[in-house]
Amino acid sequence: MADIPRRMPVTVPTVDSAWRVRARRWRELLGSVLANPTTVVGLVLIVGMLAVALFAPAITEPNTPDPYQMPRDWGALNVPPGSPGHILGTTNTGGDVYYGIIWGARTSLRLSIIVVSITVVVGVAIGSAAGFIGGKVDEILMRIVDVFLSIPELIFALAIAAVLGPSFRNIILALAVVFWVKYARIMRAQIIHVKDNDYVDAARVIGDSRLRIYLKDVLPNSITPIIVQATLDMGHIVLVGATLSFIGLAEAGLAEWGVLVSEGQAGISAGRWWASTFPGLMVFLWALAFNLVGDGLRDVLDPRTETAR
């Protein structure tokens, strides 16, 4: 009698093996990110500036009730870098450039985190509603988005901040109003693409609710471009915020890079370059670092943008 072939055992994946798969994917993702030299440069810059922001109270000695306000030394106006007590010099109003740069890093970090958090939450919520529900909801929400997108970002933010008055809080509000629309547009496009996949149809067949389908199947597979855009905006928001501060829409004396550049611009023609150069360099490095990391994440998370090797 011929031997009856044995049926191969069926391996059921366990929770532990699922976590190992996820951990391996994250290690592969991290390895891909670190394989790009420009991304590594961006990460090093970000880590350095975040360290400066987080340890600002230890690096400097705030002697004002509000540490975000630059201390003034009225007996040392426009002193050059290397002067006693003012390692990077002072502005024309006695503001210490070193103090402004250190606490300006914390101000920029606070600006980026608050604005990105608000805009991602609002944009993802509105974009998800438009893409997942569709119909008249989609039409109404996208027409609102089109109105916002028709106005240039900087002009729109400038108008809002000018109407609300000079305040760092108002700059945050103005940027949040302006930047959420791109997340709504990106999220809507992703939702429309993902919700037509076979695994979403399978979830409908087995009786999953619309909310469960959205949270389990649609949202996790739509969020990648949002992560990339948020990383890029961490740098872009500081650049726009510094621009608004430069033209006087932040409180006078705020420890912020745009305010420092504004205070130092009058002395450039007289050779007093330091008050504008050092904070301007910080704005450049901040925006450059997040752009480098954002580009690296886009290459890794979206295979269509990978450069052929």
pLDDT band at residue 187 under the 50/70/90 scheme: very high
How large is the angle between the packed helices 97-133 and 224-246, nearest 10 degrees?
A: 140
How far CA 136 is from CA of 76, 112, 130, 191, in Å, comes to: 64, 34, 9, 16
- pLDDT in the model for residue 63: 67
- What is 46-84+95-308's CATH number? 1.10.3720.10
4 has pLDDT over 80? no
- pLDDT in the model for residue 70: 85
DSSP letters for 73-88 = -TTSSSPPTTBTTBTT
- pLDDT in the model for residue 220: 85
pTM for the full predicted model: 0.84
Q: For residues 244-256, give the mean pLDDT.
A: 89
pLDDT band at residue 296 under the 50/70/90 scheme: confident
305 has pLDDT over 60? no
Of the ranges 37-46, 91-100, 112-121, 194-203, which is most confident? 112-121
pLDDT band at residue 22 under the 50/70/90 scheme: low
Q: Of 122 and 22, which is predicted with more confidence?
A: 122
How far CA 70 is from CA of 51, 91, 142, 260, in Å, comes to: 20, 11, 43, 10
Q: Evaluate whether 100 touches 70 at the Cβ level (below 8 Å).
A: yes
pLDDT band at residue 5 under the 50/70/90 scheme: low
Contact residues for 27 (Cβ-Cβ < 8 A; gap 6+): none
- pLDDT in the model for residue 89: 87
Q: Of 3 and 238, which is predicted with more confidence?
A: 238
pLDDT band at residue 12 under the 50/70/90 scheme: very low
140 has pLDDT over 80? yes
- pLDDT in the model for residue 157: 92
- pLDDT in the model for residue 1: 46
User: How far, in Å, CA of 131 to CA of 111, rounded?
Assistant: 29
- pLDDT digit string (tens) for 55-66? 988 888 766 678
- Per-domain boundaries in the chain: 46-84+95-308
- pLDDT in the model for residue 173: 94
Q: Count CB atoms within 10 A of the CB of residue 31.
A: 10
- pLDDT digit string (tens) for 61-115? 766 678 888 888 888 888 888 888 888 988 888 888 999 999 999 999 999 999 9
Lowest-pLDDT range, 134-138, 158-162, 211-215, 257-261?
211-215
Task: Name which of 113, 74, 105 is nearest 278 in CA terms.
Answer: 105
What average pLDDT does the structure give for the chain?
A: 85
Contact residues for 43 (Cβ-Cβ < 8 A; gap 6+): 33, 289, 293
272 has pLDDT over 60? yes
pLDDT band at residue 284 under the 50/70/90 scheme: very high
306 has pLDDT over 60? no
